[in-house]
């Protein structure tokens, strides 16, 4: 088995200092999404530099990784389940 070692392109803290993440990031439509425990979803452009293009708030704690389906994304928060299409 052969492994290729890559190089670090950049290092950044998503959303800046003070955000904690339990959910795994996911990709859809050419964007990367990161859901913080503090209820915010950060939308990033992939590439060779940090490019945060949006921040959306759900209004309550979220710990679970969203489920992506053909019909949308299911997001579970502390008290609700959202389907986003």
Structural domain boundaries of the chain?
Answer: 26-84
- Per residue in 14-63, pLDDT tens? 999 999 999 999 998 899 999 999 989 999 999 999 999 999 999 899 99
The CATH number of 26-84 is which of 1.10.3470, 3.30.1490, 2.40.10, 1.10.260?
2.40.10
CB 43 within 8 A of CB 14: no
Q: At 71, is the pLDDT very low, low, confident or very high (cuts 50, 70, 90)? A: confident
CB 74 within 8 A of CB 67: yes
CB 25 within 8 A of CB 8: no
């Amino acid at each position: 088995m052969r492994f290729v070692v890559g190089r670090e392109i950049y290092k950044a803290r998503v959303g800046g200092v003070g955000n904690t993440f339990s959910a795994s990031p996911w990709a859809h439509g050419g964007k990367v999404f990161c859901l913080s425990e503090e209820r915010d979803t950060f939308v990033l452009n992939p590439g060779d530099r940090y490019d945060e293009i949006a921040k959306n708030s759900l209004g309550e704690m979220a710990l679970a990784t969203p489920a992506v389906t053909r019909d949308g994304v299911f997001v579970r928060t502390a008290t609700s389940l959202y389907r986003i299409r």
